[in-house]
Chain A
């Protein structure tokens, strides 16, 4: 038996899971002599077809980026160029598995050698394709998707996450990866513990491990006593979750009884299907980017109107704050965002971009003004830096409203507020006295104040929002808002983390907007502060 070992990485999704280890990606099937070429050929062809069918089925269940990634993989598999090369290798005496492996390896090498990240990153997709067909050839397809396992890999392909049944729990432990990756986002939303950046220290071959996604470490081949300790801790966390759950449907109150509004951050309308509107005080941040699918045609006014209207219907009178298009930075949009900027986080994004594209902005503002008659809608501008951005947006909104009135269309003018996420605004909020409300976006605020890019893993330890500089800015904005009757809320990830809540309460905040998965936890934690 291998000795126990503790491997430190970084947390990407919290929670603890103890269970069997399934190593992915490194599945190189043992080489075996090739049989009859015709047999090898038909095995490869049917393995590729099977892979296409599987991905196609998966694609049908997904939308947005996930669907686009899957469509790319299908196109690569359907292309005769790869298949023909592998078949030629079989004709020269290789087995189906060897032929496919060699073909894909040489193709992957071409990507890996690229200096352009946009191409070298596609190596992960090719590996995904390679391994899927390899597994099919080895008849391993089903064991890969076993529920209740720890998946260990260099990085995790989005397709694998999407097709894994997580109902029996499970965890992810990656040698590389990123906490802002697609897989990490999915893991957090489904409550799957995940640790990244374990490095090459992962020795593999362990049958059992504990993944501590909260601390960011993996304990391989743990001694029985350790498993027991972790099982207890995991049970305690589960008990805590059970306690938290009792708070889900209650109005949030602090220990002294003071009422705190807890709203939700929502990225897609479909998320609302799983949420009881009675569990929250409204939607504090509705991201509108989901309407603007990367690479797809821009949504027209009617489509946007219908989407906003359905959210307001769900909210049933509770406030719904919709953020205007916030592409750019880590959310590029082909056709809308700038090109070739070395640091798009500091470039043309958020309200800067929409003001530069009044055609796009007006369509959205018109849709919002029309939807506003169906509930309590507020409009929030992202990345505001100067007062004139708020003023220009207000003028555009007024124009849209009067146009709609002239056209005889029902509408109303929603309150117009701003995100406080650029340090200039957080330091001098008094310049924005005309804003209908402030919503502090701690994710961007932190990266700008700490000079630590969100897409840069090497500076990730500077991303901790728990810094006196951030606390001081939050307190300052909150105090200014209270003194001037401007409602202040906080919608960054910080509000979803219980250990940050005392600081936010001390700053005087009475409204938070959190991830749906954190709703019960936050209310529960507030009751003890």
Chain B
């Protein structure tokens, strides 16, 4: 089994990763076959990025650092897309443009 691919991104959006962005975030995550997880601390606990219940529960407000990790055939794409989504303040269009 390959190692996790990781990336950290700061949530700069004023309201944080709240309801509507979380819906989009998990939808994007579900588009990848890889396992994708999120955490607020590098030491975990890690949560399934495809679960809106989990993503909401980590309460990633403005200024918090979100750690992403993915493992699988499209892990690289998953990390690029999801970190881009957060970095672009949940702008789907810019995310899509950035990921190709």
A contact residues vs B (CB 8 Å cutoff): 68-69, 71-72, 75-76, 79-82, 107, 110, 114, 116, 118-119, 122, 125, 294-295, 297, 332, 334-335, 337-341
How near does chain B come to A357, taking the closest CB pair, in angstroms? 14
Contact B91 A116 (CB under 8 A): no
Output the nearest chain A residue to B56 by Cβ-Cβ distance: A122
**What are 27 A-B contacts with C-beta separation under 8 Å?**
A68-B19, A68-B23, A72-B22, A79-B26, A80-B51, A81-B54, A82-B53, A107-B57, A119-B16, A122-B18, A122-B19, A122-B56, A125-B19, A294-B20, A295-B21, A295-B24, A295-B90, A297-B93, A334-B13, A334-B20, A334-B21, A335-B91, A337-B14, A338-B14, A339-B14, A339-B89, A340-B63
Contact B90 A335 (CB under 8 A): yes
Output the nearest chain B residue to A68 by Cβ-Cβ distance: B20
Q: Which of B18, B24, B53 contacts A81 (CB 8 A)?
A: B53
**For B59, what are the chain A residues with a Cβ–Cβ distance below 8 Å?**
114, 116, 119
Q: Is B35 an interface residue (CB 8 A)?
A: no
B contact residues vs A (CB 8 Å cutoff): 12-16, 18-24, 26, 48, 51-54, 56-57, 59, 61-63, 89-93
CA of A18 to CA of B72, assembled, Å: 62
CA of A335 to CA of B24, assembled, Å: 15
CA of A119 to CA of B11, assembled, Å: 15
Contact B52 A118 (CB under 8 A): no
| Beyond known contacts A80-B51, A81-B53, A294-B20: 10 more, CB 8 A cutoff | A68-B23, A71-B20, A76-B52, A76-B53, A79-B51, A81-B48, A116-B59, A119-B59, A339-B12, A339-B14
CA of A287 to CA of B93, assembled, Å: 25
How near does chain A come to B50, taking the closest CB pair, in angstroms? 9
Closest 7 CB pairs of A and B: A339-B14, A81-B53, A72-B19, A79-B53, A75-B52, A116-B61, A81-B51
**For B26, what are the chain A residues with a Cβ–Cβ distance below 8 Å?**
75, 79
Contact B23 A339 (CB under 8 A): no
**For A81, what are the chain B residues with a Cβ–Cβ distance below 8 Å?**
48, 51, 53-54
CA of A444 to CA of B20, assembled, Å: 28
How near does chain B come to A242, taking the closest CB pair, in angstroms? 43
How near does chain B come to A504, taking the closest CB pair, in angstroms? 37
Output the nearest chain A residue to B53 by Cβ-Cβ distance: A81
**For A80, what are the chain B residues with a Cβ–Cβ distance below 8 Å?**
51
Output the nearest chain B residue to A69 by Cβ-Cβ distance: B19
**For B61, what are the chain A residues with a Cβ–Cβ distance below 8 Å?**
116, 118-119
CA of A334 to CA of B19, assembled, Å: 12
CA of A68 to CA of B91, assembled, Å: 15
Contact A118 B16 (CB under 8 A): yes
Output the nearest chain A residue to B61 by Cβ-Cβ distance: A116
CA of A68 to CA of B22, assembled, Å: 11
**A75-B52, A79-B51 known; A339 and B13 CB under 8 Å?**
yes
Output the nearest chain B residue to A78 by Cβ-Cβ distance: B52
**For A110, what are the chain B residues with a Cβ–Cβ distance below 8 Å?**
57
How near does chain B come to A338, taking the closest CB pair, in angstroms? 7
CA of A295 to CA of B19, assembled, Å: 11
**For A339, what are the chain B residues with a Cβ–Cβ distance below 8 Å?**
12-14, 62, 89
Contact B23 A71 (CB under 8 A): yes
From B16, B19, B63, residue with most partner A Cβ within 10 Å: B19
Contact B53 A332 (CB under 8 A): no
